[in-house]
Structure 1
Amino acid sequence: MKLVRYRHGGQTRLGKVVGDRVVDLSETVGGGDSMRQLLTVLPAYRNVLDVATGPSLALSDVVLAAPIHDPQKFLGIGMNYRQHAEEARQAGIPIPASQMWFNKQVSCINGPFDPVVKPEVTQEMDYEIELGVVIGRRCRHVRADAASEVIAGYLIVNDVSARDWLKKSPTFTLGKSFDTHGPIGPWIVTADEVSDPMALEMQLSVNGELRQRSSTADMIYNIYQQIEYLSSVMTLEPGDILASGTPSGIGAPTGRFLQPGDVMRLSISELGMIEHRVIAEGKPL
């Protein structure tokens, strides 16, 4: 099932995508537009949602919003693709000896087709395509071999990064958290509909030029190991987003940073596509 938040007629609602239409689910789950709340009851409502045939709209008539706008956590792992780690090593950046996690403030979350703002205070804004893992139930101390049981589904993440701000602080938080720098979507594909999350093809282009192309199979730490590692530290909650790392091809090694007018297009097999135009700060969204 493809779960979405969508805007139509001045309202934001929950739905599921069936073919080229969006079937409304808000009334089925008691109203509201919080995907996080839906995920907390998804196991109990799943059979009902699967067969729901409420009012529907053409996808072309709605605006897709960020599938989750209110997660409690938005976490990312750095240097988690083998070719990307080698790319960084050659640039003089040491490869971490263990999983290296950082926080993206949830206020950076952006819709799947919304503009990304280039702040005036950064000259090194970069792109990163990533597989996003959405947690489905509250959990702690999860073994890697049981981690698939706590995953609700998957989406595409663009971990937009201000590289010059990453250098200013011992943590990555500021450089990863500018407003609009966390586009996600286009929907959550529930885990049962993804054949193998560790064998998904991923591509990112800028202005039609292919910049990143890889497979999730190139991860150093797979998503199950990531969940085991994180849950040894903190309780993971429904709706939490884990950005599982980016492959090689980012702009930093060559200095090819994003500028206003650039268009980023990201796709991951079985998950769909998201796209964003870069706009200058101060321009209307």
Structure 2
Amino acid sequence: MPAIAFGTYASDGREAPAVICEGAVYDAGALREAGLHVPQGNWSNGEAAQFLENLCADHSDWVAIAGGIRAAAAAGKVRAVAGDARLCAPFRPGRIFCAASNFVDHADEMGTVLAAKAESKPYMFLKLEDCVIGSGEPVRMPAETSQLDWEVELAAVIGKRARHVSVADALSHVAAYTVVNDVTARDMNVRGDYPFKFDWFQGKCHDSFAPFGPWMVPASQIPDPQKVHLSLSVNGRMMQEGTAEEMIWKVNEQIAYLSTIVTLKPGDVIATGTPTGVGMGRGIFLKRGDVMTAAIAEIGEITNPVE
């Protein structure tokens, strides 16, 4: 559990920014009113870019700030939000850049033959805002698919504009990290009515196909994103386990590569690839009523039913 994380909670028909301190959820505005430090910006109402830019520039000691919140709560100066509040997606990114076949074992299980890294570059695609849902929300299975699949991934949230950045400097543009599940309809990823082999828009961009959250952890709390541990279970059965050290293209290399094509902006998200263990490789797929839990040990977990 990170010392501090930033999310969004819903209560009484409204959404508001939250600070998660050692598992307890606090209203960000209430913490500010109590004189406690929260970077400026209401990320729950469309100001995510401003907040993430401020967070990226903020080098506070989050462990010390967590101690201050804990002390204020013990003194009755602040209190956690009511128990009926639920966490939503932390914010709704307009662009989610996704890395394909970025773990060797995952490429192998998919039958993907990769060129040597020295002769290659990252393969990226996009997911859209309407793909995003929070933990607890259902993934809606299209009637056209019988091969719905899962992919747990580390997501890097950009907080500083990046254009033609170096690999060495790339991580300084990350404000936070979170978890994303790159849900995919495998049988809709291919088509035979055009001479093009793949259609990843059709297979990956349906509404609800990017569970995201449960909160954002400031990048300074994850000094080496390649050390995080990823896992995903379906109905309690472990399907994926791995570490980000197994990536072909590291997080900083993906950021540097993308910045040669587009200007990365605060609020952009990069889903950095998935380890082995997806349904396609196992010959099993999701069905309505299944429940997925995608987790990164250093961040948290998101649980989503399929309907």
TM-score (norm 2): 0.83
Match runs of 1:14-29 below 5 Å: 14-26=17-29, 28=32, 29=40
Match for residue 293 of structure 2? 265
Give, in angstroms, the shift of residue 84 of structure 1: 0.8
Could you tell which deviates more after superposition, 37-46 or 143-152? Answer: 37-46
Cα pair 1:201 1:213 within 8 Å, conserved: yes
Partner of 1:12: 15
Correspondence for 1:208: 236
Secondary structure of 1:256's counterpart equals: coil
Alignment of 1:61 with 2:74, yes or no, is no
Mapped to 2, the partners of 1:9 and 1:32 lie a distance apart of 19
- Specify which of 213, 216, 229 is matched with residue 188 of structure 1: 216
Q: 5 Å matches for 1:37-56?
A: 37-43=50-56, 50=65, 55-56=78-79
The residue that corresponds to 1:248 in the other structure is: 276
* 8 Å CA contact 1:26, 1:32 repeated in 2: no
Establish whether residue 95 from structure 1 lines up as the match of residue 114 from structure 2: yes
SS of match in other structure, 1:164: helix
Counterpart amino acid of residue 20 in structure 2: V
Q: Is contact 2:94–2:128 with CA below 8 Å preserved after alignment? A: no
Matched, 1:83 2:105: yes
Most deviating of 21-30 and 250-259: 21-30
**What residue number does 1:123 align with?**
146
Cα deviation for residue 188 of structure 1 reads 0.4
Does 2:174 match 1:151? Answer: yes
Instruction: Work out the CA distance in 2 between the residues paired with 1:61 and 1:85.
Output: 42
Name which of 172, 179, 185 aligns with 2:200: 172
**For the Cα contact (< 8 Å) 1:24–1:55, is it kept in 2?**
no
Structure number with bigger Rg: 2
What is the rounded CA distance, in whole Å, between the counterparts of 1:260 and 1:272 in structure 2? 24
Q: CA RMSD in A?
A: 2.3
* Residues 181-223 of structure 1 deviation map (CA, whole Å, 9 limit, x = unaligned): 1001110000111142101111111111111111111000000
Q: Distance in 2 between matches of 1:81 and 1:30?
A: 36
**Where do 5+ consecutive residues of structure 1 fail to align?**
280-285
Maintained 8 Å contact 1:132/1:157: yes
Q: In the TM superposition, what is the alpha-carbon distance from 1:235 to its structure 2 partner?
A: 0.3
Percent sequence identity is: 34
Q: Encode CA deviations 1:54-103: one digit per residue, 9 max, x unaligned.
A: 8542474321111121x2311101000011122223xxx33264311111
C-alpha contact (below 8 Å) 2:43/2:91 kept by paired residues: no
TM-score normalized with structure 1 length: 0.89
Q: What SS does the corresponding residue of 1:198 show, helix, strand or coil?
A: helix
In the alignment, the residues of structure 2 paired with residue 131 and residue 56 of structure 1 have an alpha-carbon distance, to the nearest angstrom, of 31
User: Once the 2 structures are TM-superposed, how far is the Cα of residue 113 of structure 1 from its aligned partner?
Assistant: 2.0
CA distance in 2, matches of 1:122, 1:4: 32
Aligned to 1:283: none
Aligned 8 A contact 2:56 2:175 in 1: no
Matched to 2:97, the amino acid is L
2-side partners of 1:218 and 1:32: how far apart? Answer: 32
SS for the counterpart of 1:57 is coil
* SS across alignment from 1:202: strand
Do 2:41 and 2:50's aligned partners in 1 also have CA atoms closer than 8 Å?
no
Which residue of the partner structure matches residue 96 of structure 2?
74
**Between Structure 1 and Structure 2, which shows a larger proportion of strand residues?**
1
Distance 1:43 1:253, change over 3 A: closer
The reply on whether 1:233 has 2:261 as its aligned counterpart is: yes
